[in-house]
Structure 1
Amino acid sequence: MGFVQDPPQLAHPYREDHLLRAMLDRALPPARRGALDADLQALGDYAVMAWQRVGRSTRRKPVLTQWDAWGNRVDRIELTEAWQEGPRITTRHAVLAAGHEASEHARLEEFARAYLYHVASEFYTCPLAMTDGAATALKASGNQALLQRALPRLLSRDPATFWLSGQWMTENTGGSDVGNTETVARQNADGQWRLHGRKWFSSAVVGEMALALARPEGAGHGPGALALFYVETMDGGRRRPELVIDRLKDKLGTHELPTAEIHLDGLPAWPLGELANGVRQVAPMLNITRTWNAVGATASMARAIALARDYATRRQAFGKPLIEQPLHAQTLADIQAEFEGAFALTFEVAHLLGRVEHGAAQPHEAALLRLLTPLAKLWTGKLAIRLCSEALECFGGAGYIEDTGLPQLLRDAQVYAIWEGTTNVLSLDSLRALAGDSFAALHTAIDGWLADSIDAHARQRIHAALQEAAAFLEAGAKQRDALEAGARGLALTLARCAAAALLARHDSWAAPHGHARAGAALRRFVGHGLSRLGVTDATDTALLLGPH
């Protein structure tokens, strides 16, 4: 038999991830750091097993059976093996429950777990994100009856009692613009509310409950008249007949995730709070679900790079391994530096979220969280697509072959820029944050992160890019259209400035311990440039988009 190429092997995602371990060592008190170790070891073990399983079997899609053999409507969804394992892994290792402990470090510890679990879970973390968001929204509502019923199940550490929650917002009329929501809530004579309408994207229809936007019958138009309702999807062991699954979506990626189109035909519902301003009641969920999105994007980048690096040690070309080829090594180092910037920003947002939730934040940090959350989500979402594409190219033709398991990484990455607000939607949301005191908060934070920086060149480049962003904002105050047209470039610039400052902070912490690679990541990242501001010319835009 002739030559056969060794496939890439996945290094243990926890034991071999020096970046994750160093971040946790720096950020956590020793006692909490030690208590976290067993769960992270186990989740890393699961990730290795799951990658090996991909090589042994064909990955499947969920299957919807709408009718049983006797003509009864059942809407039963057969899930993949990883999804069947989801409740056990989630509860055993507190993937979700850890984020709701009474500690400013709770969110960082939660998202460290999610980071290791995400790719192996086959996007079971998508409904976990919505479940986390639902628990947060329930807490914010103060609805004691619903809190007592649902919260212990959403945060359960027992798979037998654990519930998943959906988040049913999107309808045929659109995604982010929910003002035209057509689902109607009608109240029966006995006072019970029931929902009637269609939800176009429902990514956790296999859950036991959901939060849904609906317009109370007789309410006015627009988003302010919408209310947020709690629903349960199961009646004992069977799906409620008022919840009808029309079909499962046939998607580019996230194949294992059962995303459904559903009809609500009188599904019983309970308002979370007032029968209006439902979009405002959704707001507490956004910091949560957008952070999950950024963590997922960062985890996908980590997986793609880890496999590409391992393969570079196994693949020989022109007499030596790829890792010893100067251009290939340069390519891997470039994507590693970009990834480390994304990692730094993502986990700063995670830690910041916990500090704000538990009253441990500095005065400027609530405004900082408001800005950094959309920035981290939009930047990591775009970066994951580019880095996963580059990593697949590192495998040559093998990266284009389905049963290697590699193409799935790129297909899945495309969703991060779409879920929880597209890049443009979040860029405009960042402008709304900047209308307050978020830019001053970012300046304060960056000054703090750079306070002990040992890299004067990086400091100068970061401050120069921030000054350019400030000038753009000042000019945009007089010309709103130009400000909106440049919002994406502004958002990417601010994200990169924040990431560079965080890399500098990590370098200052790591250098005394003899870790020179943190400085290398900072220099390489800054060398790629921080500003992404460009020229916005409305006349040229009109000409390019006008009739040919």
Structure 2
Amino acid sequence: MAAPTHTVTNQAPPLVTYDVYACDPALTEGVARHAAPERLDEITAELSELGRAAGSAQAQRWGEDANAYPPVLRTHDRYGNRVDEVEFHPSWHRLLGHAVSAGLTDAWSRPDGHLRRAAGFITWTQVEAGHGCPLSMTHAAVPTLRHEPSLAAEWEPRLASRVYEPELLPPDEKAGALCGMGMTEKQGGSDVRANTTRAEPLAEAGTYLLTGHKWFCSAPMSDAFLVLAQATPSKGGQGGLTCFLLPRVLPDGTRNTFAIQRLKDKLGNRSNASSEVEFSGTWARRVGEEGRGVATIIEMVAATRLDCVSGSAAIMRQAVAQAIHHTAYREAFGGPLIDKPLMRNVLADLALESEAATTTALRLAASYDSDSEHERNLRRVAVPVAKYWVTKRCPAVAGEALECLGGNGYVEESGMPRLFRESPLNSIWEGSGNVQALDVLRALQREPDALGAFLGELGLARGADHRLDAAIKDLLTELADLTGIEARARRVVERMALVLQGSLLVRFAPPQVSDAFCASRLGGDWGTAFGTLPHTLDLASIVNRARPVPQS
């Protein structure tokens, strides 16, 4: 029985039973902006269905359980036979199955496919971020496999399938499959050219046996993996670092040699099994030419980097939604927290960061759909720029949003600690901040058309805001001076990201949003913490725009 004093008051209700997609104007307006008009109704219906599922109590419980009961490695069966399997809570399979059935691994062959998939990815992974890893790798494997048309013809229909089959079976017996990736080795990290895994050619053309160790291999229960290994020259080949497709189950039904040594004990992303694996005479098929491994797999890397941007935008959006929802119901000092000028400033500042991230992610996703030479050049610079900046803003947003809930936000039941633990991951995965910054410099120095496309994108907003114009001018001055450019790389890339986001918001966002962004991020009137926006701005409109509204 409850004690007489245990009356619960002034607690915000859970944010549940709402359309995650429809309640996000930055997302819905972005889709409407980039989608073909004749397909917009179809895409909206598809994404709203996914949004309602994401906002349901059932899906939220799946996300909680998948992290409360993390995967377990079973190296052997009861008889001592090596099986190398990972067991997941049923909620993991429900999350992943729903995502696959919603088309979140299918983008390359559908009209507006990348746009609708990115919007769906941002919507659905707000429920739980860990299962976004196999979704991302499966989606991103397609352009790499297309370097080997016979492999693409065999595997692409399985990877784009809307059927989720978690069992390890021969590929020909599965209607749908997932693909993972294994590049990182303990001695090299991001320097994949230092990889030591060996690949010995077999008599059958294009087949090899691999021997080596991978320090990070995510989603080890996937059906196949794209890996890098040093190939011994085959007949007509030159050897060197090469890309391979490694299946978990061989065509004859036997298990490929794939020894899972352990699962990583990670800060966050706990629902997802990240592992160390050992290859010892492991059968694989070559993808692309020998010695061209990096060039072959780089398109997969670029696609997963964009998913890092989208995934961080999802975490930021959910954190901001929870903060605004809580403060709308929580009262203190005579009224709702959301109406207090200082709290409103914090919430508006967070909302600006979230909207800028979402707008950037959708612009780059739409770039894949048009895929002109100009768009490819734009992506060459804009993807690592966005990956660098958006993923670095994510932990700051998640931490500040958690603080908006006070002590309640520090308690696991609120869901905010899980968002916070998840927030640093995308900055590290697929190349940390230094790797992204150096990649941008490499493109600027070697690919002038990429810089031209990036500057052309900025130029579309020229003249609309004097602060943006001044920031672009300053950026051009910075880019013209190559003295000590590597040591200044982070500063240069940060400015590139901010002017890109500013140009997009000036073109596409409501005036109060773009005005606040330019005044703070580009105009110099911005503090080191959130909540330092100029008080003369229309902060209430920014907060109201970002507020999620549960269905009655």
TM bucket (normalised to shorter chain) is: 0.7 to 0.9
**Aligned ranges 1:136-535 → 2 under 5 Å:** 136-139=143-146, 141=147, 143-160=148-165, 161-189=175-203, 192-217=207-232, 225-235=240-250, 240=255, 242-356=257-371, 361=372, 364-435=374-445, 436-450=448-462, 453=464, 459-476=465-482, 479=483, 482-507=484-509, 518-530=510-522
User: How large is the Cα RMSD of the aligned pairs?
Assistant: 2.3
Q: Distance in 1 between matches of 2:250 and 2:327?
A: 53
| 2:68 aligned residue | 59
Question: Can you list the C-alpha shifts for 1:504-545, whole angstroms capped at 9, x where unaligned?
Answer: 1114xxxxxxxxxx211111111223389xxxxxxxxxxxxx
| 1:544 aligned residue | none
Helix, strand or coil at the partner of 1:166: strand
Offset, 1:473 = 1.9
Moved more, 210-219 or 345-354: 210-219
Offset, 1:472 = 1.7
| 1:537 aligned residue | none
Tell me if the contact between 2:74 and 2:83 (Cα under 8 Å) persists in the aligned partners: yes
Task: Give 1:14's match in structure 2, choosing from 21, 25, 43.
Answer: 21
Question: Can you list the C-alpha shifts for 1:47-96, whole angstroms capped at 9, x where unaligned?
Answer: 12322555789722111111222111122211133421245323322122
Offset, 1:443 = 2.3
Tell me if the contact between 1:187 and 1:193 (Cα under 8 Å) persists in the aligned partners: yes
Helix, strand or coil at the partner of 1:199: strand
Question: Can you list the C-alpha shifts for 1:130-170, whole angstroms capped at 9, x where unaligned?
Answer: 1122111111x1x2321222111111123341111111100
Q: Distance in 2 between matches of 1:419 and 1:257?
A: 13
Q: Distance in 2 between matches of 1:42 and 1:237?
A: 40
In the alignment of these two chains, the number of paired residues is: 500
Q: Distance in 1 between matches of 2:471 and 2:436?
A: 21
Helix, strand or coil at the partner of 1:372: helix
Tell me if the contact between 1:224 and 1:278 (Cα under 8 Å) persists in the aligned partners: no
Q: Distance in 1 between matches of 2:122 and 2:470?
A: 33
Helix, strand or coil at the partner of 1:110: helix
Q: Distance in 2 between matches of 1:172 and 1:57?
A: 28
Q: Distance in 1 between matches of 2:522 and 2:14?
A: 33
Q: Distance in 1 between matches of 2:378 and 2:333?
A: 50
Q: Distance in 2 between matches of 1:59 and 1:429?
A: 37
Q: TM-score by structure 2 length?
A: 0.86
- Is 1:72 aligned to residue 85 of structure 2? no
Offset, 1:27 = 2.1
Relative to 1, partners in 2 of residues 1:413 and 1:157: Cα closer, same or farther, differing over 3 Å? same
- Uncovered stretches (5+) of structure 2, i.e. residues with no partner: 1-5, 166-174, 525-552
Helix, strand or coil at the partner of 1:252: coil
Moved more, 157-166 or 245-254: 157-166
| 2:132 aligned residue | 125
Q: Distance in 2 between matches of 1:122 and 1:366?
A: 28
Q: Distance in 2 between matches of 1:445 and 1:44?
A: 31
More RCO (CA 8 Å, sep 6+): 2
Relative to 1, partners in 2 of residues 1:190 and 1:121: Cα closer, same or farther, differing over 3 Å? same
**Aligned ranges 1:91-110 → 2 under 5 Å:** 91-97=100-106, 99-103=107-111, 105-110=112-117
Q: Distance in 2 between matches of 1:52 and 1:288?
A: 30
Relative to 1, partners in 2 of residues 1:288 and 1:57: Cα closer, same or farther, differing over 3 Å? closer
Tell me if the contact between 1:298 and 1:343 (Cα under 8 Å) persists in the aligned partners: yes
Helix, strand or coil at the partner of 2:215: strand
Helix, strand or coil at the partner of 1:186: strand
